[in-house]
């Protein structure tokens, strides 16, 4: 008889940002397949008998292919028991959740999805920035800065990204940001539009750098750290 899979969003890294349901599923799991960004102290909630399997994908490093990860998930679930698939932030945001769901459905395996605190919301909270602002920011958009090959996606909707009435959060943004900024300036976004680079959000080495689009594009064309980071831009409220 097949087991059951819980997709669990681990939040941005600080174990105190796990939900109660996430902790419950981690304690109950027979096996946990986890990403790089959802490891560390979060895994201390796992039972001592659980198999802990790292399946992390990180830019610029050799990583397991997605179809191998999906197959491994199916194999663990078919062996029976309760499998947790632990993904950073919220598993439905740039987590390739759909591919793993498809694999489970094709194999007839039941699952549930436990939401998590996305790094986008955690970054905004850490910097004391509301993602929406009455009259100023009527929309929030979460956008990936890279495609499957690591390049700037060619089909980004530049007018939406240059909309002064939106707050934009770029995931995996750093390598392609200078090229994106150039396109956005040509589409009408002002170079002094406020921007925030948030790295290692919720970790002890978190950094939050307030800057402008033009200054950040210049900075990232010279130097990029390997820390996980997000870029927020728009009419970001100033920290007092
Ligand atoms: C594959 S995506 C997963 C996003 C995740 N599902 C979420 O909701 O936060 C990985 C990217 O999320 C962002 N990210 C995740 N955790 C982060 C953190 N603690 N600090 C900064 N950025 C983070 C980075 O842009 C990273 O490259």
In the set 57, 78, 183, 218, the catalytic residue is: 57
- Report the C-alpha gap between 171 and 231 in whole angstroms: 7
Spatial CA neighbour of 188 closest among 162, 212, 165, 214: 162
199 CB neighbour count, 10 Å cutoff: 19
pLDDT of residue 155: 95
Ligand 1 surroundings by CB, under 6 angstroms:
12-13, 37, 87-90, 93-95, 118-119, 171-172, 198-202, 228-230
- Please tell me the CATH code under which domain 120-233 is placed: 3.30.950.10
What is the model's pLDDT at position 17?
A: 98
Domain ranges within the chain, ordered by starting residue: 4-117, 120-233
Nearest partner of 10 among 40, 52, 48, 30, judged by Cα: 40
| 152 token code pair | 């700037």
Tokens of 3: 């087991």
Q: What is the pLDDT of residue 65?
A: 86
Q: The tokens of 193 are what?
A: 């539009």
Provide the 10 A C-beta neighbour count for residue 49: 8
In terms of pTM, does the model score above 0.85?
A: yes
The yes-or-no answer to whether 4-117 and 120-233 have a common fold is no
Position 60 scores a pLDDT of: 55
What is the per-residue pLDDT for 174? 97
pLDDT (0 to 100) of residue 239: 58
Q: Ligand 1 centroid vs 37 CA: distance in angstroms?
A: 7
Regions in the chain scoring below 70 on pLDDT:
57-62, 239-240
What CATH code is assigned to 4-117?
3.40.1010.10
Summarize pLDDT for 56-108 with one digit per residue, the tens. Answer: 866 555 677 888 999 999 999 999 999 999 999 999 999 999 999 999 999 99
At residue 78, the pLDDT reads 95
């Amino acid at each position: 008889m097949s087991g059951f899979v819980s997709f669990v969003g681990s939040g941005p890294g600080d174990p105190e940002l796990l939900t109660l349901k996430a902790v419950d599923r981690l304690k109950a799991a027979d096996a946990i397949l986890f990403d790089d960004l959802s490891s560390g102290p979060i895994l201390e909630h796992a039972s001592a008998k659980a198999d802990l399997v790292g399946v992390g994908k990180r830019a610029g490093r050799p990583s397991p292919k997605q179809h191998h990860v999906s197959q491994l998930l199916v194999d663990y679930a078919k062996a029976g028991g309760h499998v947790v698939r632990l993904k950073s932030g919220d598993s439905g945001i740039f987590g390739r959740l759909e591919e793993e769901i498809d694999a489970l459905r094709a194999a007839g395996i039941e699952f549930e999805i436990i939401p998590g605190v996305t790094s986008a919301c955690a970054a905004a909270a850490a910097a004391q920035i509301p993602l929406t602002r009455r009259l100023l920011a009527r929309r929030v958009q979460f956008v990936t800065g890279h495609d499957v090959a690591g390049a700037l996606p060619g089909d980004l909707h530049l007018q939406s990204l240059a909309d002064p009435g939106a707050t934009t959060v770029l995931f995996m943004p750093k390598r392609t940001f200078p090229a994106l900024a150039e396109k956005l300036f040509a589409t009408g976004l002002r170079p002094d539009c406020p921007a925030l680079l948030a790295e290692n959000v919720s970790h002890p080495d978190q950094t939050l750098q307030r800057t402008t689009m033009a200054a950040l594009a210049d900075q990232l064309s010279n130097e990029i750290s390997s820390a996980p980071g997000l870029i927020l831009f728009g009419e970001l409220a100033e920290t007092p």
